[in-house]
Amino acid sequence: MSEVYPIPAETAKSALIDEKTYHEWYDRSIKDPEGFWAEHGKRIDWIKPFTKVKDVSYNGDVHIKWYEDGTLNVAANCLDRHLAKRGDQTAIIWEGDDPSESAHITYRDLHERVCRLANALTDLGVKAGDRITIYLPMIPEAAVAMLASARIGAVHSIVFGGFSPDALAGRIQDCDSSIVITADEGLRGGRKVPLKANVDKALETCWSVKNVVVVKRTGGNVHMVTGRDSWYEDLVAKAAPTHTPVEMSAEAPLFLLYTSGSTGKPKGVLHTSGGYLVYASMTHQYVFDYHDGDIYWCTADVGWVTGHSYIVYGPLANGATTLMFEGIPNYPTVSRFWDVVDKHKVNIFYTAPTAIRSLMREGEEPVKKTSRASLRLLGSVGEPINPEAWTWYHRVVGDGRCPIVDTWWQTETGGILITPLPGATPLKPGSATRPFFGVVPLMVDAEGKELLGATEGNLCIADSWPGQMRTLWGDHERFKQSYFTTYPGRYFTGDGARRDEDGYYWITGRVDDVINVSGHRMGTAEVESALVAHPKVAEAAVVGYPHEIKGQGIYAYVTLIQGEEPTEELRKELVNWVRKEIGPIASPDLIQWSPGLPKTRSGKIMRRILRKIAENDYGALGDTSTLADPTVVDDLVENRMNRV
């Protein structure tokens, strides 16, 4: 039995949803989803109201539609509709990498900036349905670019600024973007990131891109290609400050976001407009118990889905004040997060377990010397939070006062699916607790048989919610294959979970070949294909292993081409090679030279064995009798790299 943290009296007094309301709403959302979502669909402004709520099938060709005959504009919902009441309220607090730089942007100001960019993009020939690739650092222009894209009905695809030119090129090519919005350089932890130079490199292999718009962030020297590249500042200065938002269907694509799968190249997860915005805004309001005037800070990068739903779309649709942070937790000091909390009087703070674990290592003093009196609620996302990190977060950061919402969700789900609600859910450290309204988690065994009661198994979701992805860009077949064929008729999450006697969910991590490094998803297949692209590598197999700070580390088994020497230099070269091919987040932590890999007689690599060895759990390798050559295992065990 794990410890239970009851709902604090302070929280209970002011929370939007209490325990009784949670159960009433949840029951209704399951018994009458059409009625429930029709009612909550009204939380956003529709140009033409919807009459149909839901049209979903998880079988056959799989289709997912919500509010399909309604029309709206997502940017108008995030901006225009707030102007009358909160034009002068701060929409975005921007905190720069350097603590001396910050800015407050009101709703009125943000609206004007978005209108100007919408006009500028239109002048460049960008139309509804076109894809816009955004490769920007954490600066307000990133939000402006997203909203301007939404305003003209274009589809944005943000590529995280830490990805390499090759990774960027692959994502541009997959969706045929006609335009890239970037910056001269990014700035993180005092270090410059050559964004424009990366774009130039990427575009050597991308023929679809006609325009590159460049924000001046550092003023660093960059090469501008005549006829292709323009400065953002010049374009918006020339553009008109008002713009009529384009009326879009509820099911019009809003954005694409590439994420790693268990096989092949990254998948372009497609989200549409109406249902996504309803779900992002509703979860933002209730999960974070957002009250008017609260200062809300999500530390994610807009390059990930968390930044989409919980820095930009959810908060702005709710008229919230959202903080956007350019920097990193340990620059200039390890007190930075808490200094920012004090500087801007942050009430709600949402971060990843990996950040908590790395700060935990620095001790309590850097936290305790700050006030943090403004904090009311803490959140966690991206990977399982271990109970030690949870209790440290609660006791040290939150001074034991602030509930923690451990929110489980995925790029594919668009918004949070399993989570506590602060006024409704007693907490257990390490558990994401209970489903949000309308969400029906289902546990199945390997054969797909539903498991009831307290149990452990694979996590599926029985039915749709409005924020769910609709397809994979250009590959509906892969969409069906990836999510709806393992357990037919159900959405398979790829995660394993445990459900306890109180019906609380404990996410145990991925059960497929996706690893979660510092809350970033990485496909083992992607790292493998980067490794084998090196001229000296014959074969590679990549698995995850437990890592104290990152949650999981990347462990690579590499077989070299005949005659190549396994040296320390080569090891370093391979790490750098992967950084260059994908980006620093994909760097292998450990590389083991392996003369052979454990394969079945039909040539299939037995990853189960490789995972065990990487976990240093080589005593429990299980049955190895089906291996073509069982002796390779002895060599791998003997030369294993992880001996903790």
- Chain residues binding ligand WTA by CB under 6 A are 259, 304-306, 380-384, 406-411, 432, 493-495, 507, 509-510, 516, 521
Which residue, 154 or 348, has its beta carbon nearer to ligand WTA? 348
Which residue, 409 or 437, has its beta carbon nearer to ligand WTA? 409
Q: Are 458 and 325 in contact (CB under 8 A)?
A: no
Q: Residue 551 CB, nearest distance to ligand WTA (Å)?
A: 9
Which residue, 408 or 593, has its beta carbon nearer to ligand WTA? 408
Among residues 23, 304, 336, the alpha carbon closest in space to that of 142 is found at: 304
* CA within 13 Å, CB half, 100: 1
The answer to whether 322 is a known ligand-binding residue is no
Q: Residue 59 CB, nearest distance to ligand WTA (Å)?
A: 23
H helices within 288-431, ranges in order?
A: 305-307, 314-317, 336-344, 353-360, 365-368, 387-392
Q: Residue 381 CB, nearest distance to ligand WTA (Å)?
A: 5
Q: Residue 75 CB, nearest distance to ligand WTA (Å)?
A: 23
Which residue, 211 or 493, has its beta carbon nearer to ligand WTA? 493
Q: Are 102 and 92 in contact (CB under 8 A)?
A: no
Which residue, 122 or 458, has its beta carbon nearer to ligand WTA? 458
Residue 121 structure tokens: 């993009």
Which residue, 118 or 305, has its beta carbon nearer to ligand WTA? 305
- Comparing every residue's Cβ against ligand WTA, the nearest one is 411
Determine the Cα–Cα distance for residues 211 and 233; give it in Å rounded to an integer.
15
Determine the Cα–Cα distance for residues 224 and 599; give it in Å rounded to an integer.
51
The answer to whether 189 is a known ligand-binding residue is yes
* CA within 13 Å, CB half, 621: 21
Residues 6+ apart with CB under 8 A from 590: 545, 553, 554, 555, 556, 614, 641, 642
Q: Are 103 and 303 in contact (CB under 8 A)?
A: no
The answer to whether 409 is a known ligand-binding residue is yes
Determine the Cα–Cα distance for residues 513 and 598; give it in Å rounded to an integer.
17
Determine the Cα–Cα distance for residues 315 and 461; give it in Å rounded to an integer.
26
Which residue, 140 or 384, has its beta carbon nearer to ligand WTA? 384
Which residue, 272 or 306, has its beta carbon nearer to ligand WTA? 306
Determine the Cα–Cα distance for residues 158 and 145; give it in Å rounded to an integer.
10
Residues 6+ apart with CB under 8 A from 140: 92, 94, 103, 105, 110, 113, 324
Q: Residue 415 CB, nearest distance to ligand WTA (Å)?
A: 9
Which residue, 122 or 518, has its beta carbon nearer to ligand WTA? 518
Determine the Cα–Cα distance for residues 432 and 125; give it in Å rounded to an integer.
45
Residue 23 structure tokens: 């159960």
Which residue, 427 or 558, has its beta carbon nearer to ligand WTA? 427
Q: Are 514 and 483 in contact (CB under 8 A)?
A: no
Q: Residue 9 CB, nearest distance to ligand WTA (Å)?
A: 26
Q: Residue 497 CB, nearest distance to ligand WTA (Å)?
A: 9
Helix (H, G, I), strand (E, B) or coil at 95: strand
The answer to whether 532 is a known ligand-binding residue is yes
The answer to whether 166 is a known ligand-binding residue is no
The answer to whether 410 is a known ligand-binding residue is yes
Which residue, 122 or 407, has its beta carbon nearer to ligand WTA? 407
The answer to whether 330 is a known ligand-binding residue is yes
Q: What are phi and psi of 465, to 5 degrees?
A: -135, 160
Q: Residue 358 CB, nearest distance to ligand WTA (Å)?
A: 17
The answer to whether 198 is a known ligand-binding residue is no
Residue with tokens 């392996």: 594
The answer to whether 46 is a known ligand-binding residue is no
Order the strands of the 267-272 sheet from edge to edge.
229-231, 211-215, 179-183, 131-135, 155-158, 253-259, 267-272, 471-472
Q: Residue 182 CB, nearest distance to ligand WTA (Å)?
A: 22
The answer to whether 341 is a known ligand-binding residue is no
DSSP secondary structure of 7-64: PPHHHHHH-SS-HHHHHHHHHHHHH-HHHHHHHHHTTS--SB--S--EEEESSTT-EE
Among residues 247, 317, 311, the alpha carbon closest in space to that of 277 is found at: 317
* CA within 13 Å, CB half, 298: 30
Among residues 125, 143, 407, the alpha carbon closest in space to that of 255 is found at: 143
Among residues 146, 152, 144, the alpha carbon closest in space to that of 126 is found at: 152
The answer to whether 544 is a known ligand-binding residue is no
The answer to whether 81 is a known ligand-binding residue is no
Q: Are 44 and 277 in contact (CB under 8 A)?
A: yes
Which residue, 316 or 432, has its beta carbon nearer to ligand WTA? 432
The answer to whether 191 is a known ligand-binding residue is yes
The answer to whether 579 is a known ligand-binding residue is yes
Q: Residue 458 CB, nearest distance to ligand WTA (Å)?
A: 12
Q: Residue 408 CB, nearest distance to ligand WTA (Å)?
A: 4
Which residue, 492 or 555, has its beta carbon nearer to ligand WTA? 492
Q: Residue 136 CB, nearest distance to ligand WTA (Å)?
A: 19
Q: Residue 138 CB, nearest distance to ligand WTA (Å)?
A: 17
The answer to whether 306 is a known ligand-binding residue is yes
Determine the Cα–Cα distance for residues 296 and 301; give it in Å rounded to an integer.
15
Q: Are 167 and 158 in contact (CB under 8 A)?
A: no
Which segments are annotated as binding site for ATP? 382-384, 406-411, 495, 510, 521
Which segments are annotated as binding site? 188-191, 306, 330, 382-384, 406-411, 495, 510, 518, 521, 532, 534, 537, 579
Which segments are annotated as binding site for CoA? 188-191, 306, 330, 518, 579
Which segments are annotated as binding site for Mg(2+)? 532, 534, 537
